[in-house]
Structure 1
C-alpha cells in the first residue's frame, strides 16, 4: 500500500523518509539531496568525535543524522520533536541510517515540565510542517513539554535550537546546563522583538553572540574558535547615530523614536551638530538626554550640511557602527538589529561596503501598500556644467542587497572603522548634492567600497515641512553666509572628480586642493572612469565636461 504522506528518497545522508507534501525541509532534501547543507558544514567546525549535541526541533532528522556521523560512536546526539507524525519519521531515519548514538524524545522543550497541546496539521495538504509553533491556532493533540535541565545530562558541547519563536523558553529551561557545560549555542532568531531578550539572557552567562545569516551563534570563549567566528558580526555592539540639525526641534522626536524602536537602546549613541542662534534656549535639554553628545555651533559659523556631518563624526567614540540620518527621522521596530543584519548580507557580497537608500516618507511608514517598495539610488537625473545629481526609483523589496550608484545622505549605514577611514571632507562649504552625495560615493567606489540598497525598511524621513520649522532669522543668516560658496565648492568637486583642471578651481580652494589630505582624495582600486561607466553616464560626462580626461583611454 502506498503511504499517502511519506516516501523514501536517496540523499546525501543516505536513505531518508520524507514528508511528501512538506514545502521546505522535505522538499529541499528531495530536490537537492540535503537540507541546510552550508549551515551544517559551518557547525561541524565546533564538533569532533566524542562530543554531545542537543538538537532541539529535529523535524525529520537531517541535522540529527549529520551530527551523529560527526560525533561518532563515542559521542551522543539527543533530539526532540513534538509533532507525533514527524517524530515517527525522525525515528525511522535514525534507524534507517544506523545512528546508534542518537536518542530521540517525542517532546517539546521549554522552561517547565508540563502537559501541552501540540500542532497536528493535515499532512496530506502542502505546508511547511517545520514552521508550526506551539502557539499556532491549528488542530492540536496532547503532548508533553520538558526542560533540558530535567534530563540531568553529564555533557553538552553544542545546543542547536529551532523551535519557531520559543527559543528563549528553551534556554530558560537549560540554565543549569549552561552554567555547567557552556555549550556552543546555535539558534534561529528571525522573529521581530525576539533578539533582544535572547541576547540579554545569554549575556548573563558570559556568552558572546554573533550573527550567522538569520541565526545566532553564542560562544563563551571566541578565542577557542578563531577562524570560524567573524568578530565583525558580533551582536553585542554599539551604533553611533550622526544627526546634523539646523534649528529643527523635531530632533527631540527623532532621538526619542530611535530609542523606543531600537532592540538595544542602551547601545545607541547619538552625536548631534546643533546649528542654532546664540541666544536660542529651546534645545538646552538636548545635552541632558542619555547617550546624546551635542556640538553646539553658532549659526554664524555654520558652513552647510557636510561641515555639520563632519563635526558629528568628531563625537564618535569606540562605536562599532555608524548611521547617518536627518534630524527629522522615524524608525521601524528593531531598526538597529535590522541594519546590522542588512549590512552583514551586503558584506557577504563585498566585505567593503555600506548600505544606503532613500528612506520611506514618514507619512507612508504605516501604509502597507508602500512597504513592499524601497527607494533605490539607481540612476542620475541631472548632469550639466553646474552640477551632477544622482537619483533613484522605487523597486520591489529585493531578496538580496542591490548595488547602488550613490548614497542617500538621509540614510547611510556602515562600520565605524570604515567611516573613520573615509570621513567627510570638512572643506566643502555649503556644498550641494554633488559634493555631499556624489563625490563621497565616488570616493568610496574608487577605494573598492560598494554601496548597497538593503532588502527592507529601517528609517523614514520627512521630505516636506522640515524647512518650515527653521526660524526665519536662521534662514537669513544662512542665506547671507552661503553667498557664492556653492559655486566655489563645485569647482573643487569638479577637480577632484577629474572633470576639470586644477587651474579652474576657485582661488579660495587653491591651497586646499594642492595640500589635500590623502583621506579625502579618491582611491586607486577603481578609476573614476570605471565608476562613470558603471553608472552608465560616461558618454554624457564626456560631452558635458571639456576638461574631463578619461583615465582608461589609451
Structure 2
C-alpha cells in the first residue's frame, strides 16, 4: 500500500523535480542509512533479481515506485529484440544489463563493461543469480585505447565514477578500445548504451569501425557537458562526431510517464550543450 501511495505522489511530479529529489537523496547520508535498514539487498528489475547495497545505491530504492530512469528504460526496451547484441558501457551494478539480457534471449548477447571493482562484483553476482549465460562482464573502462587509467571515485554516487575527473580518491583500472576488443569477434552490434561520466567522446573514438559496419546500430548515451569539457572532445564536438558517423540525434524526454523524442538539429548543438546540465540522447541512422 505504501509503495502504491508513493508511486502516485511520484507520478504527479515533473521530471525535473524527480531528478532533483533523486540527486538530493543520493547525497543524503541520513537517507542512505534509512534505506540500508528498510530495503533488502536484492530488488526485482523487470523480472530479474538484482543485488544492491542500499547504502551505496540509494537511488535504486526508488525503483519500485517508478523513480529510476523511466523514459530511458522504456525506449531501451522498445529497441531491443531477440538475438540482438547489446553493449552496456558503464554498466554500474547491472540495471540495463539485466533488462537487455532478458530481451535478447539465448540467441543474443550482452557485453557489460564496468571498471569499478565494487560495482563489478554486484554486476557479476546479479548475472549469476539470474543464470544468464548470454552476458559477458568485463571489468574495464571503455576509452580510445587499451591501457590503464585512474578511475576517480565519488564520495556518495557510485554512478558518478569517472576516468576524466580528478582528486586523491581513485583506483587504477584497465581501459579498452572496443574496435580492438571486437577485432577477433563477430562485429555485429545492434544497441549501445553509454553512461560513462564524460568519457563518451573517448569511447566513440575507439569504436569507429563498429559504428561504421553496423548500419542499423542504435546508441543510447548520457551527455553531461561539464564532464565532456574535461577531455578534448567537448559536448558540441561529441554531437558533431555522432552526426559525422551518420546518426540522427534525439533528446529523450519524459512526458506523462512516457518517453518521447525531440530531434536535435546540428545547428542547435552549441546552444543545446550550453543549456543542459545532464540529459540522455538516442541516436539512430
Residues matched between the structures, number: 226
After superposition, residues 385-464 of structure 1 pair within 5 angstroms as none
SS at the partner of 1:21? coil
- Which residue number corresponds to residue 22 of structure 2? none
User: Relative CO higher for 1 or 2, CA cutoff 8 Å, sep ≥ 6?
Assistant: 2
Aligned: 1:11 with 2:33: no
Partner of 2:239: 199
**Counterparts of 2:151 and 2:272, CA distance in 1:** 34
Tell whether the 8 Å contact from 1:12 to 1:34 is kept in structure 2 after alignment.
Answer: no
- Separation (CA, whole Å) in 1 of partners of 2:51 and 2:98: 12
Instruction: Describe the superposition over 1:498-551 as per-residue Cα deviations: whole angstroms up to 9, x where unpaired.
Output: xxxxxxxxxxxxxxxxxxxxxxxxxxxxxxxxxxxxxxxxxxxxxxxxxxxxxx
SS of residue matched to 2:60: helix
Which one of 160, 174, 195 corresponds to residue 131 of structure 1? 160
Report the equivalent of 2:117: 84
Structure 1 residues 336 and 159, CA gap change in structure 2 (3 angstroms): closer
Equivalent in the alignment of 2:189: 156
Kept in 2: contact 1:121–1:138 (CA 8 A)? no
Please provide the CA RMSD for this pair. 2.9
The correspondence for 1:210, drawn from 225, 238, 250, is 250
CA contact (8 A) 1:65 1:94 kept: yes
Q: Which residue of 2 aligns with 1:177?
A: 210
Equivalent of residue 143 in structure 1, options 173, 178, 183? 173
Structure with the larger helix share: 2
Structure 2 unaligned runs (5+)?
A: 1-35, 280-285
Residue 189 (structure 1) aligned with residue 229 (structure 2):
no
In the alignment, structure 1 residue 22 sits paired with structure 2 residue 51: no
Q: Please give the alpha-carbon distance, in whole angstroms, between the structure 2 residues aligned to 1:107 and 1:77.
A: 15
TM-score (norm 2): 0.70
1:338-395: CA deviation from partner (whole Å, max 9, x where unpaired): 56x79x9xxxxxxxxxxxxxxxxxxxxxxxxxxxxxxxxxxxxxxxxxxxxxxxxxxx
Match of 1:39 in 2: 72
SS of corresponding position for 1:100: coil
Match of 2:127 among 82, 88, 94: 94
Q: Tell me which of 83, 104, 121 is aligned to 1:71.
A: 104
Q: Deviations over 1:146-190 (max 9, x none)?
A: 011112242100011000011100100001111111420110013
Matched, 1:59 2:88: no
- State the TM-score, normalizing by the size of structure 1: 0.38
The equivalent residue for 1:116 is: 149
Alpha-carbon contact 2:98-2:127 (below 8 Å) kept: yes
**Greater C-alpha Rg:** 1
Contact 1:9/1:18, CA 8 A, preserved across alignment: yes
Q: Contact 2:71–2:253 (CA<8 Å) still a contact in 1?
A: no
Aligned to 1:470: none
Deviation for aligned residue 1:142 = 2.3
Q: Is the 8 A contact 1:25 1:130 kept in 2?
A: no
1:71 Cα deviation from its structure 2 partner:
0.7
Partners of 2:142 and 2:59 lie apart in 1 by: 21
How far, CA to CA, are the matches of 1:338 and 1:34 in structure 2? 26
| CA distance in structure 2 between the aligned counterparts of 1:21 and 1:160, rounded to whole angstroms | 25
Q: Distance in 2 between matches of 1:196 and 1:151?
A: 27
- Give CA-to-partner distance per residue, 1:429-452, whole Å, 9 cap, x none: xxxxxxxxxxxxxxxxxxxxxxxx
